[in-house]
Structure 1
Amino acid sequence: MRLLLKYLLFILLPAYTYGQSGRPDAGITFEVTDSLHNPLAYATVALTPMSGGGKAYATTTDEEGRARFTLPANTYNADISYIGYVSQRMEVRPVSGSDMLRTVRLRTSDTQIREVVITATQVRGPVSGVHIGRDAMNHIQPSSFGDLLELLPGGRASDPSFFSSNHIHLREIGISNSDYQTTSLGVSFVMDGIPMSNDAGMTYNSGTTVGNNISLNRGVDMRTMPTDEIASVEIQQGIPSVEYGDLTSGLIKIKRKEGGRNLEARFKADLGSQLLYVGKGFEWGAPADLLTMNVGATWLNSHDDPRNTRQNYQRATGSWRMKKRWESTSAYRYTLGGSLDYTGSFDRQKSDRDIDEGPAGIPSNATNRVTTTSSRR
């Protein structure tokens, strides 16, 4: 009898176990492609049960763009996503004991950014000109005023170079002889309503045989003009009004920052130069009776060729400005302001032992020594 019971238990136990397991699992495969039917590998597929509070499932597609699930039969929300494509959501009902195939095609998503203006804007008026705002300056990160000219229509971007004096050229015909490239003498620079002298640049480096550092009778050297304190620039390429005085080739109207309470700092480093700027604005009083003050300083150190220790350019600038404004019920506004500015360009006396002493270690009579040059405005 005992032996018979053992045989019956051995036969009935598998049938009982199968009855307790319930229905078999369902299978579902997702095939994810783009609009051209190319498989998308590593797309994310996530399944969430809509009822019953069951388990959620997630995986990524293989190199053929397929993702397979084996899970209990239920109704699921399927979320398919891929970077750069529009995600899709669908409802799936896998059937027990069968394998379902769902093909999903994802279309590319269009990423839109805010409009960015990185060029000069046209100025409407009797004289043709362009306006360069602070946003455009921040975009190109200029080292000197000459870098702003690449924003003009037809302007060309180039690496900053301080190897030679840099002058502006407006309304100029190309001439092979540099002695006749004096158009910058006819361009007037007006900063905060005050004309800058463009025909008294007495900078001349005697004793040097490298570079073209001569600024005598060439106009304003734009290397000496930093841009961090500038709020906006208007470049008039036509013939401006006679109110601006002696000019023949164009007008550069520079407006510097006024007021504000922000502390600003900028550090720029590239293969040839390093620049540091610190500035602060102050304001007192109401808008109708406002007193502003701005201070700022910059330092620039440039090496056009790291192998040539004799040829470099250093610039230090500082600015202190104050302005008082009075407004009344009348149609007149009264302003009173003043500024103190300093610009220094330095080129210390340098020597190279290999050049000055020669291979034998004996001092030579070569006249390659670079003399000290400085300028202040």
Structure 2
Amino acid sequence: MHVIRNFARYLIILLFIFNKSFAGNTGHIAGVVKSVDTGKGMAGVLVKISGLDSTTFTDPKGQFQFLNIPAGNYSLVFMAPGYGKTIMLNVLVGMGQTWFDQIFLKKSSDTGEKFYIGGIEVTAEKELLPETISTTTQISSGDIEHIQASSLGDILELIPGQEFTNPGMENVKQIKLRQTNTNDAADQNAAFGTQIMVDDVPISNNANMQMDTGLNDGATYRITINSGIDLRRIAADNIKSVQIIRGIPSARYGDLTAGAIIVETKSGYTPFRFKYKSNPRNHEANFNGGFGWTNQALNFNINYAKSLRDIRVDGDYFTRLGGQLNFSSYFLNKRIEWVNRIYYTRIFDEQELREGDITETERSNRSYEARFSTRLNYDFSEKGRFSFLFSANLNRQNSYIKRIISRDLGIISTRMEPGVQEGIFVSSYISKLWVK
């Protein structure tokens, strides 16, 4: 009896020591699964730890947890009917620590898998046969984040065959699909052939009535006279996806000769995110987020960017200030979607007076763009949809150049009628030109 009692005592001590050592090498995983559309917790979502035989379902509040998971790097898999498959990578479980995060699922009929890496959504397509007959390139938000883009012009460098340059906004950026470089005057008309669509609204330069004021000096291009739009106006951090059609696009896009670029901006409920990028030439800050209710969602984005053309020269810079506000409403069990968007961008492209410049040159191109769009989609059947879109766009450009003009002696007269007066002989004068 005494031997049995001692054996039981030693066994309890060993189990206690083993349990302590095991617990010291484990951690916990917990989180909340929410719907992107409503922002509320989702019940019954299957959660699985990839590589371990551990699965669970979320409770009515969308919460889940895994206890005593060996320390290491894991991937979480989330599956729910109508939401596809979402994978979160790089889930680090530390010894004696609890990993916690919020996961947002969005309804989707896509067969691809969605990956979340550091808050960035990446979609892996599983399309066996293409649905379109034209040559297209799809760029997701994960690709945009990878290249640290500042504008749509930087994003389009991911297209095969495009020239790759350092991200920045010191020069006008335009797209050239199957065309030559648009910086040459003879080739600038080529940019007219590419249609830019932002949230189904065409963005064009057809109404640009500027004249050549000398703002483009051969080395620096500040305005887009007789060519396409300046892609620096469209901030990259608010773009969800970009589709480039290099083949023959649908007739719905119209007004094109060389392809179409379809841009979709972020909308609906999204987590709040502040991002700041900086290097010696470029500085950019972006803040975006969204609120979600049962049948409504509000999304916003604020962007500020500044780019120096030459860090050795003061007063030669490009500045962009922009914002976008989206309001979405849903009716009849989300068969009707009504989305309203307000967009505003302010541009300051300046060359201030430089010390030692004998021509005392000053240049500026200040402009703003305001756009409103409303779109109504009604899914009246499984394969039928009615869409209505209305948009209004306002552009204002103000160009200015001042410099000293030197030439041979000339005569300047102020007379408005024939006659004789004392002449004014000048060899140089200050020229100021505004185009509004």
- TM (norm. structure 1) is 0.59
Per the alignment, do residues 232 and 369 of structure 1 end up closer, same or farther by CA in structure 2, a change over 3 Å counting?
same
2: distance between equivalents of 1:239 and 1:246? 12
Q: Map of 1:20-59 to 2, 5 A cutoff?
A: none
Match of 2:353 in 1: 351
Match of 1:244 in 2: 253
Q: Are positions 1:313 and 2:313 aligned together?
A: no
The answer on whether the counterparts of 1:206 and 1:371 sit within 8 Å (CA) in structure 2 is no
Q: Percent same amino acid among aligned pairs?
A: 27
Q: Are positions 1:274 and 2:279 aligned together?
A: no
Per the alignment, do residues 371 and 125 of structure 1 end up closer, same or farther by CA in structure 2, a change over 3 Å counting?
closer
2: distance between equivalents of 1:198 and 1:283? 36
* Aligned-partner residue type, residue 323 of structure 1: S
The answer on whether the counterparts of 1:200 and 1:217 sit within 8 Å (CA) in structure 2 is no
Pairing partner for 2:339 from 337, 340, 351: 337
Aligned to 1:244, what secondary structure does the other structure show? coil
Larger Rg: 1
- CA offset digits 1:20-74 (Å, max 9, x no partner): xxxxxxxxxxxxxxxxxxxxxxxxxxxxxxxxxxxxxxxxxxxxxxxxxxxxxxx
Deviation at 1:227, TM superposition (A): 1.2
Aligned positions, number: 249
Deviation at 1:206, TM superposition (A): 3.3
2: distance between equivalents of 1:260 and 1:253? 22
Per the alignment, do residues 142 and 349 of structure 1 end up closer, same or farther by CA in structure 2, a change over 3 Å counting?
closer
* Aligned-partner residue type, residue 320 of structure 2: R
Q: Are positions 1:368 and 2:361 aligned together?
A: yes
Pairing partner for 1:263 from 272, 292, 297: 272
Deviation at 1:171, TM superposition (A): 2.1
* Aligned-partner residue type, residue 338 of structure 1: N
Structure 1: segments with no counterpart, 5+ residues: 1-112, 356-363
Aligned to 1:354, what secondary structure does the other structure show? coil
- Alignment root-mean-square deviation, CA: 3.0
1: distance between equivalents of 2:182 and 2:228? 17
2: distance between equivalents of 1:352 and 1:315? 22
Q: Are positions 1:222 and 2:231 aligned together?
A: yes
The answer on whether the counterparts of 1:129 and 1:236 sit within 8 Å (CA) in structure 2 is yes
Deviation at 1:373, TM superposition (A): 2.5
The answer on whether the counterparts of 2:150 and 2:167 sit within 8 Å (CA) in structure 1 is yes
1: distance between equivalents of 2:182 and 2:326? 41
Per the alignment, do residues 310 and 203 of structure 1 end up closer, same or farther by CA in structure 2, a change over 3 Å counting?
farther
Per the alignment, do residues 124 and 272 of structure 1 end up closer, same or farther by CA in structure 2, a change over 3 Å counting?
farther
Q: Are positions 1:213 and 2:195 aligned together?
A: no
Deviation at 1:223, TM superposition (A): 1.0
Q: Map of 1:77-96 to 2, 5 A cutoff?
A: none
Aligned to 2:309, what secondary structure does the other structure show? coil
- TM (norm. structure 2) is 0.52
